DNA sequence: AGCTTGAATGAAAGCGCTTTCAATAGATGC
DNA sequence: GCATCTATTGAAAGCGCTTTCATTCAAGCT
């Protein structure tokens, strides 16, 4: 029950003295019209303040010019940046972003997928490749392109980074500095393949160096500063505490530094800390955080571009973006 | 041109042996059906994997179950948090969030308004009350509820905070600590009534104390850490530098502290710094930042609730949320 | 001149759903 | 016992747009 009064396509058509079909073409395929007609239609549309009805266009054309994105949370510097990059890339082509978050719950993600698919998004971006088979099935049956980000798998096109390598780089940096007891604080491992991969990468590097990362040197925490503090405290209170810590994300690493600080332990001289992410903030904390920099904005931009290419029927393949260790002041050679 | 194969309402109807109208009711107004029919329809829908077409529903019913939000950028702890709160509140009632950002450009905002309204959002959230008259006109003509956030005006329902008071509280705190030369670093004032209001609040408080905030003690910068550093540097290099600084947002205040640190000036003993926002981060920087805490998550939640109430035809009025000074370690009495 | 071709436009059939409006059938009231 | 309700269901008319398919007309060829 649209309220009366809204100008519709047929009003413009009448005003311009052409058929509705012509007005429709003026909007979507202007090259099909003569300049004269086009000008006439545009003038009418402008004068009447015509705004096409998206629902009707979507229904008639099967395209909604809308891309869906489902992330764990918007309230995170990382996902916020990726979404901002996506949004602005999409906007250039007239697409809009429909967002949903699942806050770490697989069921909420499934619900979001259903919702977004039902809303007729033209493409869908998700984070990570791990999800229940029912959700995967739903995505596979979807008649729209799906793009995974951060982690991919064989099932869908993806824009990924090498999380295993990220973990490895962090660990190798510390090993190279002479550390022998290295701990790691990660976020929840469940329903988070990014964190698992980073842990696995660190483990592998440590194992190759003959060191290993026993379970007691790994602490799984909420991905907040407070989580980092708790994780750090847990590991520092071991009988034989680590001399260096890896944070599964920068936020955790920063929490670790804070806890060390609170305990009067110097970073980097009493404890080396390295993060993974490369948040802006990390360059600005004190001491500045050594971290494995991930091209977060690029993930968003590329995800958007990939999705738009796929929507347009063009080809697009899975991409893996490079990660890079950025050495700053939070790590030092073990004396 | 929907690809073939997707199950539609009429398929379910046929399968369940009822009319399409009945299936439609089973989805939207189940109380109108007998339990028996309802069960039959639900079983068919489930078995066939029926997913209603959002565009068609929107077109037929005039409701899209979608709320639009236009923020300056998603890539900001503040707006990200507000949007996350909105999103999760909306999701509880089955609404989805369509987001757009304007990155400080009024024209981009107008474009976003047009886009979102065209997409048939059921309601629209915007930040601040300042915008070109054409945009305001477009919003007033819109047949959907509009809710402003952070700052409001008489034209639309709003969920606001007292930005003037926030500026005032920051200034009064510093005045109370004996500071006499107080500077302020704000973000761009143009197309940002929040920053202007905070500056005005600080100015008023300073004026009342007989101090004033001359233009040279105000620096307008990009809202980034780097902006904060530059602003701080600018003010500290004055012949008669301030002994205390107010950051228009926490990020700027943190940038100020960093710059002071880099110059070997102690915060708070060589320079007091107070922010406005109450970011999580601010409690965790060193020294922890004294700031005027704003209930950002609450803004998002309330904006969502207000919008949903209005969409449902219920009454909702403009709200002003309280702000509160949180004293931490970045401010000290002037010796 | 007669025919083909291409460009520009219009007519009309939906896209998949919601929602009056009617119809039917028991149930209720006097 | 008959009119009046009330609860269920169905029929059918769109919602506002896109998109074949046809049509028209003028230009280009032989």
pLDDT digits (tens, 9 = 90+) for A176-202: 999 999 999 999 999 999 999 999 999
Q: Are B311 and B123 in contact (CB under 8 A)?
A: yes
Interatomic CA distance for residues A334 and B204, integer angstroms: 54
| Residues in chain B within 8 Å Cβ distance of A64 | 55
Element (H, E) at B35: helix B35-48
The pair of three-digit structure tokens given for residue B274, joined into one six-digit string:
């107070």
Query: Up-side HSE of residue A57: CA atoms within 13 Å toward CB?
Result: 20
Sheet strand arrangement including B218-220: B218-220, B182-186, B244-247, B272-277, B290-293, B324-326
Tell me if the bond preceding A268 is cis, omega within 30° of 0. yes
Cα B216 to Cα A232: distance, rounded to the nearest angstrom: 45
Q: Closest CB to A77: pick one of B3, B77, B255.
A: B77
pLDDT at B284: 84
Q: Which residues of A touch B89 (CB under 8 A)?
A: none
Residues of A whose CB is below 8 A from B80: 74-77, 79-80
- Gap between the Cα atoms of B59 and A54, Å rounded: 9
CB contact under 8 A, B143 and A2: yes
Q: Are B289 and B295 in contact (CB under 8 A)?
A: no
Q: Which residues of chain A have pLDDT under 50?
A: 1-4
d(CA B90, CA B125): 12
Beta bridge partners of A215: none
Statement: the CB of A60 is under 7 Å from strand C: yes
Of A87, A88, A286, the CB nearest to B286: A286
Count of CB atoms within 10 A of residue A218's CB? 20
Near-strand D residues (CB closer than 7 A) = A 2, 6, 8-10, 20-21, 23-25, 27-29, 50, 52-53, 56-57, 59-63; B 1, 17-22, 25, 32-34, 36-38, 56, 59-60
Q: Name every chain A residue with its beta carbon within 8 A of the beta carbon of B110.
A: none
pLDDT, residue A161, reads 98
Is A270 within 7 A of strand C by CB distance? Answer: no
Establish whether the CB of A18 is closer than 7 Å to any nucleic acid atom in strand C.
yes
| Cα-based distances in Å from B174 to A60, B182, B183, B326 | 62, 8, 10, 13
A102: left (phi over 0), alpha (psi -120 to 50) or beta: alpha
Confidence of residue B2 (pLDDT cuts 50, 70, 90): very low
Interchain CB distance below 8 Å, B3 and A143: yes
Identify which of B323, B268, B285 has the alpha carbon closest to the alpha carbon of residue B150: B323
Separation of B16 CA and D9 C1' (Å): 13
- The pLDDT tens digits of the residues spanning B156-187 come to 999 999 999 999 999 999 999 999 999 999 99
How far is the alpha carbon of A211 from chain B, nearest alpha carbon, in Å?
A: 33
| Cβ separation B62–A87 shorter than 8 A | no
In the DSSP assignment, the letter for residue B191 is: T
Gap from B228 CA to chain A (nearest CA, Å)? 12
Interface test mutation site (partner A, options B62, B284, B300, B328, max chain A beta carbons within 10 A): B284
Strands (E), A168-262: 182-186, 218-220, 244-247
Angle of CA points B225, B226, B228, to nearest 5°: 65
User: For the purposes of burial, counting CB atoms within 10 Å of the CB of B265, is it exposed (0-12), middle (13-18) or buried (19 or more)?
Assistant: middle
Contact state of B97 with A94 under an 8 Å Cβ cutoff: no
- pTM, entire model: 0.94
CA dist list (Å): A99 to A203, B100, B181 = 35, 10, 46
The 3-class secondary structure across B215-266, one letter per residue, is HHHEEECCCCHHHHHHHHHHHHCCCCCCCEEEECCHHHHHHHHHHHHHCCCC
Q: CA–C1' distance A34–C4 (Å)?
A: 22
Question: What is the Rg, in whole angstroms, of the alpha carbon atoms belonging to chain A?
Answer: 25
pLDDT at A285: 86
Distance CA B318, CA B331 (A): 34
Q: How many CB atoms lie within 10 A of CB B156?
A: 17
* DSSP designation for A155: T
CA of A158 to C1' of C25 (A): 58
Q: What is the biggest distance separating any 2 CA atoms in chain A, rounded to whole angstroms?
A: 86
Q: What are phi and psi of B147, to 5 degrees?
A: -130, 125
Q: How confident is residue B250, by pLDDT bands cut at 50, 70 and 90?
A: very high
User: DSSP class of residue A284?
Assistant: T
- CA dist B166 and A99 (Å) reads 31
Distance CA A158, CA A177 (A): 35
CB pairs under 8 A between A and B: 160
Closest CA to A151 of A131, A121, A122: A131
User: Cα–Cα distances in Å, from A96 out to A69, A318, B77, B114, B175?
Assistant: 10, 23, 21, 12, 47
Query: Beta strand pairing status for A123-127 and B123-127?
Result: unpaired
Check whether B3 has a pLDDT greater than 80: no
| CA separation for the pair A10, B72 (Å, rounded) | 35
Closest CA to A51 of B81, B319, B119, B35: B119
Count of CA atoms in the C-beta half-sphere (13 A) of A264: 0
Q: Are strands B146-150 and A157-161 parallel, antiparallel or unpaired?
A: unpaired
Residues from chain B that touch A255, judged by Cβ atoms under 8 A, are 284
Q: Angle between the B35-48 and B9-16 helix axes, to the nearest 10 degrees? A: 120
Cis omega (within 30 of 0) for bond into B7: no
> In Å, how far are A57, A316, B95, B146, B148 from B142, measured between CA atoms?
19, 39, 19, 8, 14
Please state the rounded mean pLDDT for residues B225-246. 97
DSSP structural state of residue A215? G
- Chain A contact set for B58 (CB, 8 A): 54-55, 58
d(CA A88, CA A171): 35
Residue A59's pLDDT is what? 96
CB neighbour burial string for A107-134, b if at least 16 within 10 angstroms, e if fewer: ebbbbbbebbbbbbbbbbbbbbbbbeee
pLDDT per position as a tens digit, B93-119: 999 999 999 999 999 999 999 999 999
- Whether CB of A102 is under 7 Å from strand C: the answer is no
The yes-or-no verdict on residue B275 having pLDDT over 60 is: yes
């Amino acid at each position: 029950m649209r309220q009366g009064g809204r100008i519709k396509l047929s009003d413009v058509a009448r005003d311009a003295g052409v058929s509705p079909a012509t007005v429709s073409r003026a909007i979507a395929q202007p090259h099909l019209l003569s300049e004269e007609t086009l000008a006439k239609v545009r003038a009418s549309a402008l004068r009447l303040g015509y705004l096409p009805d998206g629902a009707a266009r979507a229904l008639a054309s099967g395209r909604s010019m809308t891309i869906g994105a489902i992330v764990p949370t918007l309230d995170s510097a990382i996902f916020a940046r990726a979404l901002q990059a996506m949004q602005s890339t999409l906007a250039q082509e007239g697409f809009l972003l429909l967002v949903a978050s699942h806050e770490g719950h697989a069921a909420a993600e499934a619900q979001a997928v259903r919702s977004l698919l039902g809303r007729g998004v033209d493409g869908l971006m998700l984070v990570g490749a791990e999800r229940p088979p029912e959700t995967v099935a739903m995505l596979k049956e979807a008649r729209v392109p799906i793009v995974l980000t951060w982690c991919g798998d064989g099932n869908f096109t993806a824009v990924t980074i090498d999380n295993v390598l990220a973990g490895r780089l962090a660990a190798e940096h510390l090993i190279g500095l002479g550390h022998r007891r290295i701990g790691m604080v990660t976020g929840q491992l469940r329903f988070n393949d990014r964190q698992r991969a980073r842990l696995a990468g660190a483990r592998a590097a440590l194992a190759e160096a003959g060191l290993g990362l026993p379970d007691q040197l790994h602490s799984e925490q909420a991905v907040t500063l407070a989580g980092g503090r708790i994780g750090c405290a847990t590991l520092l209170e071991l009988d034989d505490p680590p001399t260096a810590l890896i944070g599964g994300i920068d936020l955790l690493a920063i929490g670790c530094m804070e806890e060390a600080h609170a305990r009067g332990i110097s970073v980097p001289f009493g404890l080396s800390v390295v993060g993974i992410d490369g948040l802006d903030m990390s360059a600005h904390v004190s001491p500045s955080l050594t971290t494995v920099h991930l091209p977060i904005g690029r993930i968003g931009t590329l995800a958007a571009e990939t999705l738009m290419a796929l929507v347009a029927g063009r080809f697009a393949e899975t991409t893996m973006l490079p990660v890079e260790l950025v050495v700053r002041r939070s790590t030092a050679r073990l004396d």
